[in-house]
């Protein structure tokens, strides 16, 4: 019988696990939030992942449970573990990914490079941090943020007064995370995969360009990063994966500072937008690797097909909503581009797909990837 992987969540990351599972002969099953999700083709159940009974029933028929996202509550994760289900990544590492203050605390304990930060419970504490950091800082909600949501640059505690009210109402000692505004020259991302037996492999370090807090472009490998920067990034990601006991893919978003340091920005314990280029550009994609890792199978080679790969997100899509009408023009103009769409309806700002081009020259590849992706915009 085929090995069975259960994925909680039916978004595009679950969807992109499907090709890898089909190729490798795995039986992939998705617990989707409802009908018509990106990963609908593999959905064997629909339900609320906050509900212990729903998730336990889904998990009964699989060999391992993994995730499309990091939002499954700890009580559900613990119930799975108590029922003898293999949950990968497990509740402990996921707790670090689920709460930015926990994440900063653990990384600081490990001595890893992070921006200056503090957990603040009221405007006075935030004002004190601002006073110490030039009057401006980044405030983040500890939970629930993604793609720029839950993140604000502030110069006055009043800029996040709504969040302080929510924190106070929630009680239980909750807080906001405040961080120094890092003077970065660029953003990088390092992905690794780790399996329970301890094996860890890394893909090349990539450069990422964010727009409005959303990943827009990825360059693999990161230009001018051979040597010390790449070594530091890989060491950081391997160390986090190992020390936190992550299983599956771990993506570490990094800042490169103008004094050539790197600082950890965010973590994701799942395949990540900054690794989509691996589908077309690497021997083993992050999605195949994640499946291998959570099944504790030996990990695949992470070499690249060509010197450069560039991934451009398709954000929003055509205003008339007619994505299919854009295929002929794009495919004809750039037959070498790899087009990926997630079964999502176009909507302003929404990640509905991405385009990757691989080749020998990064400038040429960048031009072609951007131009191919632009066929799907207005």
- Binding positions for ATP are 100, 140, 179-182, 187, 265-266
Q: What are phi and psi of 249, to 5 degrees?
A: -85, 140
Q: Does 340 bind a copy of itself (CB under 8 A)?
A: yes
Q: Does 259 bind a copy of itself (CB under 8 A)?
A: no
Q: Match 């990757």 to its residue by tokens.
A: 356
Query: 32 to 71, contacts with a copy of itself by CB under 8 A?
Result: 41-42
Q: How far apart are CA 205 and CA 79, in angstroms?
A: 36
Binding span for a copy of itself by CB under 8 A among 50-58, 183-191, 258-266, 279-287: 279-287
Question: C-beta of 74: minimal distance to a copy of itself in Å?
Answer: 31
Q: Does 341 bind a copy of itself (CB under 8 A)?
A: yes
Instruction: Name the residue nearer to a copy of itself (CB basis): 263 or 295.
Output: 295
Instruction: Name the residue nearer to a copy of itself (CB basis): 158 or 301.
Output: 301
Question: C-beta of 115: minimal distance to a copy of itself in Å?
Answer: 36
Sign of CA pseudo-dihedral 210, 121, 101, 262: positive
Tell me the CA end-to-end span of the chain in Å, nearest whole number: 47
Question: C-beta of 55: minimal distance to a copy of itself in Å?
Answer: 22
Q: How far apart are CA 265 and CA 152, in angstroms?
A: 14
> Binding a copy of itself by CB under 8 A: which of 34, 48, 83, 327?
327
Question: C-beta of 145: minimal distance to a copy of itself in Å?
Answer: 27
Question: C-beta of 294: minimal distance to a copy of itself in Å?
Answer: 13
Q: What are phi and psi of 302, to 5 degrees?
A: -115, 20
Q: What are phi and psi of 350, to 5 degrees?
A: -80, 140
Q: How far apart are CA 169 and CA 176, in angstroms?
A: 13
Question: Residue 15's closest CA among 33, 2, 1?
Answer: 33
CB 161 within 8 A of CB 123: yes
Strands of 196-319, DSSP E: 200-202, 206-211, 214-220, 248-257, 262-268, 308-315
> Binding a copy of itself by CB under 8 A: which of 205, 250, 279, 355?
279
Q: Does 368 bind a copy of itself (CB under 8 A)?
A: no
Q: Does 320 bind a copy of itself (CB under 8 A)?
A: no
Question: C-beta of 1: minimal distance to a copy of itself in Å?
Answer: 7
Question: C-beta of 178: minimal distance to a copy of itself in Å?
Answer: 40
Q: How far apart are CA 158 and CA 161, in angstroms?
A: 5
Question: Residue 79's closest CA among 45, 44, 55?
Answer: 55
Q: Does 299 bind a copy of itself (CB under 8 A)?
A: yes
Question: C-beta of 336: minimal distance to a copy of itself in Å?
Answer: 4
> Binding a copy of itself by CB under 8 A: which of 210, 242, 257, 283?
283
Q: How far apart are CA 151 and CA 85, in angstroms?
A: 35
Binding span for a copy of itself by CB under 8 A among 11-19, 69-77, 106-114, 365-373: 11-19
Binding span for a copy of itself by CB under 8 A among 48-56, 116-124, 227-235, 338-346: 338-346
> Binding a copy of itself by CB under 8 A: which of 234, 311, 339, 346?
339
Q: Does 353 bind a copy of itself (CB under 8 A)?
A: yes
Q: Does 24 bind a copy of itself (CB under 8 A)?
A: yes
Q: Match 């079964």 to its residue by tokens.
A: 343
Strands of the chain, DSSP E: 4-8, 27-32, 43-46, 64-67, 117-120, 137-141, 151-154, 176-180, 184-194, 200-202, 206-211, 214-220, 248-257, 262-268, 308-315, 338-341, 351-359
Instruction: Name the residue nearer to a copy of itself (CB basis): 106 or 368.
Output: 368
Residues paired with 187 in a beta bridge: 208, 255
Residue 166's H or E segment, with its range, is helix 161-170
| Burial (Cβ within 10 Å: 0-12, 13-18, ≥19) of residue 123 | middle
Question: C-beta of 128: minimal distance to a copy of itself in Å?
Answer: 50
Note the residues at the interface with a copy of itself (CB under 8 A).
1-3, 15-16, 18-20, 22-25, 27-28, 41-42, 279, 283-284, 292, 297-301, 303, 305-306, 323-324, 327-328, 331-332, 335-336, 338-343, 353
């Amino acid at each position: 019988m085929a090995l069975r992987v259960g994925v909680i969540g039916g978004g595009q990351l679950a969807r992109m696990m499907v090709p890898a599972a089909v190729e490798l002969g795995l039986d992939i099953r998705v617990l989707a939030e409802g009908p018509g999700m990106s990963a609908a083709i593999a959905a064997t159940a629909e339900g609320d992942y906050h509900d212990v009974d729903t998730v336990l029933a889904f998990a009964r028929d699989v060999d391992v449970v993994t995730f499309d996202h990091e939002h499954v509550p700890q009580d559900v994760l613990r119930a799975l573990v108590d029922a003898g289900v293999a949950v990968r990544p497990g509740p402990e590492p996921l707790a670090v990914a689920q709460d930015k203050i926990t994440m900063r605390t653990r990384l600081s304990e490990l001595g890893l490079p992070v921006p200056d930060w503090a957990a603040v419970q009221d405007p006075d504490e935030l004002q004190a941090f601002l006073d110490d950091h030039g009057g401006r800082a980044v405030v983040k909600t500890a939970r629930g943020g993604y793609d720029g949501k839950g993140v604000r640059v502030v110069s006055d505690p009043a800029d996040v007064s709504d969040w302080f009210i929510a924190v106070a109402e929630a009680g239980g000692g909750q807080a906001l995370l405040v961080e120094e505004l890092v003077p970065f020259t660029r953003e990088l991302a390092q992905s690794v995969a780790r399996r329970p037996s301890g094996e860890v492999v890394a893909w090349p370090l990539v450069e990422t360009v964010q727009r409005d807090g959303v990943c827009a472009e990825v360059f693999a490998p990161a230009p001018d990063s051979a040597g010390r920067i790449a070594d530091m990034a890989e060491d950081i990601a391997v160390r986090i994966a190992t020390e936190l006991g992550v299983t599956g893919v771990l993506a570490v978003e990094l800042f490169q500072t103008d004094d050539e340091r790197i600082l950890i920005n965010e973590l994701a314990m799942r395949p990540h937008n900054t690794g989509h280029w691996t589908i077309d550009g690497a021997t083993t994609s992050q999605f195949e690797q994640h499946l291998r890792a959570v099944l504790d199978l030996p990990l695949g080679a992470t070499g690249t097909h060509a010197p450069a790969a560039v991934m451009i997100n398709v954000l929003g899509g055509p205003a008339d909503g007619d994505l299919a009408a854009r295929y002929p023009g794009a495919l004809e103009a750039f037959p070498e581009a790899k087009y990926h769409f997630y079964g999502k309806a176009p909507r302003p700002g929404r990640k509905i797909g991405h385009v990757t081009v691989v080749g020998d020259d990064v400038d040429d590849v960048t031009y072609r990837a951007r131009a191919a992706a632009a066929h799907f915009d207005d």
